[in-house]
Amino acid sequence: MKDKIQIEKYIEDLENQFKNKFSKSKEIFEQGLDYFPNSVAQPARTLKPFPPFIESASGNSVMTVDGVELLDFWQGHFCNILGHNHPVLTEAISSNITNNCALQSGFLTPLENELASLFRKTTNMESFIFTTSGTLATMYATMLGLSYTKKSLVLKLEGGWHGAQPWSVTGVKYPEGINKNVLESSGLPEDWDEQVVTVPMNDIEALTKCFDKCGDKIGVFILELVLGNSGMVMANKDFIKEVRRLTEQYGVVLIIDEMVTGFRVRAGGLYKLYDIEPDLVTFGKVVTGGMPFACIAGKRKIIEEASSSKKIRVWADSGTFNCHPTSLRVAIETIKYLVEHEQEIYPSIIKKMNTLRNACKEIMCKYNIDIDITGESNDDSIPNFPIGTIRFIKDKEKYDKTKAINHWNGDLVDTNLRDRVIRIALMLKGIYVWQGMGVVTHSHSEDDIIKLISAYEEFASELGN
């Protein structure tokens, strides 16, 4: 790549162009500085010097308040597998409005049973709890598991994220270095990190040692099959099978968090391709169709920890907006559409992502830019994941792609280039990406993939040698 001074000048020029092209977004951003602790209401959507603000979204793209159309590979935090505001889903919302069932009434509706029936058919799970967010679903699932096992320790993967809930906020981004597993949120008891232990993904030896040491104390093991927070690193099938064996041996409730992976590569859970049956699974994002909804699915004997027949139960199914009728209707139509069009949707998005991933590798190599693109499977029976990130490698000799937490190691990976610079550069070319790449959905055409590949070529020629 260019030397440090040249790169700094390149970034400065990009930011000046960005400020000019997105001047209305800059104005709105500055208006909000006084309102929110992180300048915007949802900090995952911002970046320096400021984020784009949009006024509409349709299919594969969004329109910013600046009048700039952006081909979108972020797609609602990966919710919109059919694209923004797909007609099937907007018509479902319109139907609820027409039938005077669009807003929360505080009464039960037949939609609850209809959606539960769909989940049972697509997941083979026995019992379900609906809620309004992935964070709540993983928190409630953890509480159900701890209640069932009567044990207090939670095991998770290094670099794993399960929403901003108490058992998730350790071992995430390692702000004090990858060798220091610290509590990454204030507002919790100082010794809260002692309630959570972590193991590295795909390290069977470390996994075995962890269970040898504290297996009898672990009540819950919660994990993702693709580590979203750590850049979409995929689990090995052998590792997951050993996880299932050990959790059964030690009486640990295994929770598979499928917020990102569920209904992403097939019309159901990714865990089926790993040939295991978890105790609990959490679903959100794709199945929501872009509405606030999440689901805990699992074995009846564990879900029943939330039953009012218990003297002290897990309060996992309350909330004013739980089972919101419009959320339920959209989730129903989303799942029905994915099931009906399964062979049309999934092979296509996986193929497009493979094309994108391979082309990006070739381009960056051509310009002597060392990268690693995540989301690749280690098993022929499991497809590559249709979400990926680009890691710009600083130290090729020390970088180890098998270690998921290297995603946040600033000594090995240029996180500024990945999370900010390439996003700004590509927005100037009419494309919005996440961590250098993002998600391919049913709304993205082959021409959209070619457009992003061409943008990579331009970006690499500007950055590289």
* Chain mean position to CA 249: 30
For the segment 287-310, the average pLDDT, to the nearest whole number, is 97
Distances (CA, A) of 317 to 220, 299, 363: 20, 16, 49
Tell me where in the chain the CATH 3.40.640.10 domain(s) lie: 87-340
CATH class of segment(s) 87-340: alpha beta
127/25 Cα distance (integer angstroms): 45
Asked if residue 399 lies in contact with residue 413, where contact means CB atoms within 8 angstroms, the answer is: yes
Q: How many CB atoms lie within 10 A of CB 190?
A: 8
Give the model confidence (pLDDT) of 196-225 as tens digits: 999 999 999 999 999 999 999 999 999 999
Shortest CA distance to 130 belongs to which of 122, 121, 141?
141
443/454 Cα distance (integer angstroms): 19
pLDDT grade for 183, boundaries at 50, 70 and 90: confident
Read off the pTM.
0.96
- Within 159-229, where are the H helices? 204-214
Q: Which CATH superfamily is domain 4-73+345-463 in?
A: Aspartate Aminotransferase, domain 1 (3.90.1150.10)
Would the pLDDT of 2 be above 80?
Answer: no
**Average pLDDT over all residues of the chain:** 95
Helix, strand, or coil (residue 48): coil
For the segment 295-321, the average pLDDT, to the nearest whole number, is 96
Asked if residue 231 lies in contact with residue 407, where contact means CB atoms within 8 angstroms, the answer is: yes
pLDDT at 64: 98
- Measured at the CA of 158, the angle between CA 40 and CA 432, to 5 degrees, comes to 40
pLDDT at 18: 98
* Percent share of the chain, pLDDT over 90: 92
455/360 Cα distance (integer angstroms): 10
Element (H, E) at 198: strand 196-199
For the segment 20-46, the average pLDDT, to the nearest whole number, is 94
* Percent share of the chain, pLDDT over 70: 98
Cis preceding-peptide flag for 110 (omega within 30 of 0): no
Distances (CA, A) of 22 to 28, 34, 426, 428, 459: 10, 20, 13, 9, 19
Shortest CA distance to 30 belongs to which of 20, 21, 40?
40
Give the model confidence (pLDDT) of 105-153 as tens digits: 999 999 999 999 999 999 999 999 999 999 999 999 999 999 999 999 9
pLDDT at 16: 96
pLDDT at 335: 98
For the segment 10-18, the average pLDDT, to the nearest whole number, is 95
End-to-end CA, the chain:
5
Distances (CA, A) of 316 to 70, 285, 412: 39, 19, 41
373/386 Cα distance (integer angstroms): 12
For the segment 271-296, the average pLDDT, to the nearest whole number, is 97
Give the model confidence (pLDDT) of 382-400 as tens digits: 999 999 999 999 999 999 9
Tokens 């805990």 correspond to 296
pLDDT at 178: 63
Would the pLDDT of 184 be above 70?
Answer: yes
Give the model confidence (pLDDT) of 319-349 as tens digits: 999 999 999 999 999 999 999 999 999 999 9
Give the model confidence (pLDDT) of 65-79 as tens digits: 999 999 999 999 999
Q: What is the DSSP letter of 202?
A: T
Helix, strand, or coil (residue 199): strand
Distances (CA, A) of 352 to 128, 226, 442: 34, 19, 10
In one-letter notation, the amino acid at residue 223 is: L
pLDDT grade for 290, boundaries at 50, 70 and 90: very high
- Within 22-80, where are the H helices? 23-31, 75-78
Shortest CA distance to 199 belongs to which of 212, 184, 186?
212
pLDDT at 14: 96
Give the model confidence (pLDDT) of 158-178 as tens digits: 999 999 999 999 988 877 666
Q: What is the DSSP letter of 234?
A: E
* Chain mean position to CA 108: 30
Sequence-distant (≥ 6) Cβ neighbours of residue 408 within 8 angstroms: 159, 173, 174, 178, 230, 415
Tokens 């951003």 correspond to 29
The number of helices, as runs of H, and strands, as runs of E, in the chain is 14, 17
Distances (CA, A) of 219 to 104, 293, 343, 440: 36, 26, 38, 36
Asked if residue 298 lies in contact with residue 278, where contact means CB atoms within 8 angstroms, the answer is: yes
Give the model confidence (pLDDT) of 353-381 as tens digits: 999 999 999 999 999 999 999 999 999 99
pLDDT at 175: 73
pLDDT at 179: 67
Tell me where in the chain the CATH 3.90.1150.10 domain(s) lie: 4-73+345-463
Q: Which two tokens stand for residue 296?
A: 């805990």
377/226 Cα distance (integer angstroms): 10
Asked if residue 266 lies in contact with residue 273, where contact means CB atoms within 8 angstroms, the answer is: yes
